[in-house]
Amino acid sequence: MDRLWAPWRAQYIREASAGAETDPGCFLCRGISSRDDRDNLLVWRGAHSVVVLNRFPYNNGHLLVAPLVHRGTLGELSGADLTEPIETVRKLVGILDRMLRPQGYNIGLNQGKSAGAGLPGHLHWHVVPRWDGDTNFMPVLGQTKVIVESLLEFYDRLAAELATAPER
């Protein structure tokens, strides 16, 4: 069996923690409760969900979409807390299509630590733009991931797009 190693993700996993209703150790809860959105890479706020740039991205444009409520399973979400994040994922795919022109996406969530959730207490969907040939020798041989744009540059571009994007 072949393995794909991603050692640059270890810091993210070490820093993440789970908790109660809102967890001061939860970076999503901290970002939601703060008003320093740019510092927290929180690029959009909805009535029931937020969009955050992944601080440790797999690719340029790697986003997290999370409900405002600190819940760890789909079964704990209902109504707009469940539907708005999915509608937000759909909206973001359209925006990323225009901005980055990816050839595909990995979109999903990891529910529970055993499933790979680095932050098991606060459910969130990953939206990862993909391009043919976007993996190369650098992560394997050089233990280095090449991201073509800084997080804050992409944050500013995405924030501008979201400010002018029509509602669903």
Residues annotated as catalytic (active site), given as ranges: 124
d(CA 128, CA 106): 5
Give the burial class of 98: count Cβ atoms within 10 A of its Cβ; 0-12 exposed, 13-18 middle, 19 or more buried: exposed
Cα 100 off chain centre by: 16
The three-state DSSP-derived secondary structure of 83-139 is: HHHHHHHHHHHHHHHHHHCCCEEEEEECCCHHHCCCCCCCCCEEEEEECCCCCCHHH
- Return the amino acid letter for 38: R
Report whether 126 belongs to an annotated binding site. Answer: yes
Handedness of CA 13, 58, 73, 43 (dihedral sign): positive
Count, residues in the chain: 168
Per the annotation, does 136 bind a ligand?
no
Annotated binding site for substrate: 54, 126
